[in-house]
Amino acid sequence: MNIAGFIARKVAFNNQQSFSRFIIRLAIAATTISVAAMILALAFTNGFQSAISQKIFNFWGHIRVQHYEPSKSVISEEYPIDRNDTVEQLQQEIPGIRGIQAYATKNAILKTEESLEGVLFKGIDRFYDSARLQSFLKEGRWMVYPDSGYSNEIVLSAYTASQLKLKINDPILIYFIQNDGSAPRARKLTVAGIYKTGIEEYDKLIAIGDIRLIQRLNNWTPNQVGGYEIFLNKQEDMEQINEAIFNRLPMLWNSKTIFEIYPNIFDWLALQDQTIGITLVIMIIVAVLNLITCLIILVLERTRMVGILKALGTNNATIQRIFLYHGALITLVGIGLGNILGFILLALQNRFKFIRLPEDMYYIDKAEILVIPWQVLAVNLGTFLICLAVLTIPSLIVRNIQPVKAIQFK
């Protein structure tokens, strides 16, 4: 029979009212709040990073293939490349690729009677999987592609539409800037849809239309495009797949991951990991300090019991285990309640979205959640092991308790 465990359970589940009972409840509450806070912090941080990353991936793909231009800025017109069957069939050759889409961009100015706005016109074709962008579409629809010629429709961002006071089906005059220095070429288009990503860099700049219009304005052949956007099943495979793609590209072609193209956004997202690390450390410290205080009070309140046990021949190690078991029970109850509280709050947020965010600052309008099971397990196991290890310190008090004085202690 485990004597230490038996006595610990008797002490822990004793219904007698005492100061230590209040302290135990306080320690359980502190552990519950700490564990719940860690689970919430991890879920919200994961959700925040995943939601913003997914927006970028949906808008630009995971990997971009273009003509090699070392001095080219991140968002600017591309040097034309010919459609390549080798690249377009990579989806069948490399596992993990979900789709490959051609695109091109061209600088332009949108003009109304009252105002004008500079944009980067992103051209896509009829085979572009617009389902990836569907969550961004706030009003209207995507362009309709005629069998010949090009679509005379355009999809604007909510910001651009607001600046130009445009609505669905309104006509808009667009002037395309020519690279050869000649006069801008004007086209009259109709606003088919209005989108919003929440990412200011895109919403203030990008307009979406037919790639055939860019081909005609640039005097490209129908076989020429600005580049390819490659979409993957898992972002974790990005570096590996990018290397495999690069090795298959024609001479003077280049491939880059979206991490390389937009390092500032992803570096900012990576900073959230440091913040979450600090939060986890603080919460564990709070839980540990409360448990240490609780165990010290328990030892002092049970001094008489310790004296009697020593007088009966119980060794110090066994008595220490009594209080360690007691501390472990408190920790386990706190961890269990912390998990329940944390997941209830996450479920409520997932259902009612009551935590809102200013989208112009955080790129999302509500707090998103993403629970990664191994992280929850690590929080639970890490909290328990750290608390148990630290609780050995106050349990050493029992070694200095003298049986005669302890029995007389009241």
Cα–Cα dist 264/46, whole Å:
18
% of the chain exceeding 70 in pLDDT: 86
Model pLDDT, residue 122: 95
For residue 346, pLDDT over 80 is answered with yes
% of the chain exceeding 90 in pLDDT: 50
Same domain, 227 and 190: yes
Same domain, 174 and 37: no
Report yes or no on 319 lying in a domain.
yes
Average pLDDT rounded to a whole number, residues 183-197: 94
For residue 174, pLDDT over 90 is answered with yes
Report yes or no on 25 lying in a domain.
yes
Residue 251 identity (one-letter amino acid): M
Report yes or no on 135 lying in a domain.
yes
Same domain, 245 and 289: no
Buried b (16+ CB within 10 A) or exposed e, 200-214: eebbebbbbbbbbbb
Model pLDDT, residue 265: 84
Same domain, 43 and 131: no
**179-193, 194-208, 268-282, 311-325: segment of lowest average pLDDT:** 311-325
Element (H, E) at 67: strand 63-67
Report yes or no on 64 lying in a domain.
no
Q: How far apart are the two ends of the chain, measured CA to CA in Å?
A: 30
With contact defined as beta carbons under 8 Å apart, do 365 and 38 qualify? no
Phi then psi dihedrals of residue 83, to 5 deg: -55, 140
Residue 31 identity (one-letter amino acid): T
- Domain end position, chosen among 251, 284, 300: 251
Model pLDDT, residue 27: 82
Partners of residue 189 on adjacent β-strands: 172
With cut-offs at 50, 70 and 90, classify the pLDDT of residue 114. Answer: confident
Same domain, 80 and 213: yes
Q: Count Cβ atoms below 10 Å from residue 246 Cβ, excluding itself.
A: 14
Same domain, 297 and 337: yes
Same domain, 39 and 75: no
- Domain end position, chosen among 201, 223, 251: 251
Cα–Cα dist 49/46, whole Å:
5
Model pLDDT, residue 8: 59
Question: What does the pLDDT look like over 209-253, one tens digit per residue?
Answer: 999 999 999 999 999 999 999 999 999 999 999 999 999 999 889
For residue 81, pLDDT over 80 is answered with yes
Q: Which of 132, 106, 110 is nearest to 226 (CA)?
A: 106
Report yes or no on 175 lying in a domain.
yes
Residue 112 identity (one-letter amino acid): T
Between helix 316-352 and helix 263-301 the angle, nearest 10°, is 140
Task: State whether the Cα torsion 125-126-128-134 is positive or negative.
Answer: positive
Model pLDDT, residue 224: 94
Model pLDDT, residue 386: 87
Question: What does the pLDDT look like over 53-68, one tens digit per residue?
Answer: 999 999 999 999 998 8
With cut-offs at 50, 70 and 90, classify the pLDDT of residue 86. Answer: confident
Same domain, 41 and 129: no
Model pLDDT, residue 154: 96
Q: Pull the structure tokens for residue 293.
A: 């205080």
Element (H, E) at 12: helix 3-12
Report yes or no on 44 lying in a domain.
yes
Range of the domain at 95: 69-251
Model pLDDT, residue 392: 78
Model pLDDT, residue 377: 96
- Domain end position, chosen among 219, 251, 283: 251
Task: State whether the Cα torsion 364-369-373-375 is positive or negative.
Answer: positive
- Provide the greatest CA pair distance for the chain: 103
Same domain, 25 and 142: no
Q: Which of 31, 4, 102 is nearest to 330 (CA)?
A: 31
Mean pLDDT score of the chain, rounded to an integer? 86
Report yes or no on 357 lying in a domain.
yes
Question: What does the pLDDT look like over 9-28, one tens digit per residue?
Answer: 666 556 555 666 777 788 88
Phi then psi dihedrals of residue 28, to 5 deg: -60, -45
Decide the pairing of beta strands 185-195 and 153-157.
parallel
Cα–Cα dist 17/114, whole Å:
77
Same domain, 232 and 294: no
Task: Name the pTM for this structure.
Answer: 0.84
Report yes or no on 75 lying in a domain.
yes
Number of domains in the chain: 2
CA distances from 207 to 101, 158, 247, 393 (A): 17, 10, 33, 64
Q: Which residues make Cβ contacts (< 8 Å) with residue 242, sequence separation at least 6?
A: 63, 255, 256, 257
Same domain, 234 and 108: yes
Average pLDDT rounded to a whole number, residues 71-85: 79
Same domain, 281 and 245: no
Question: What does the pLDDT look like over 244-296, one tens digit per residue?
Answer: 999 999 988 999 999 988 888 888 888 888 888 888 888 888 888 888 877 77
Question: What does the pLDDT look like over 347-406, one tens digit per residue?
Answer: 999 999 888 988 888 888 899 999 999 999 999 999 999 888 877 776 666 666 666 555
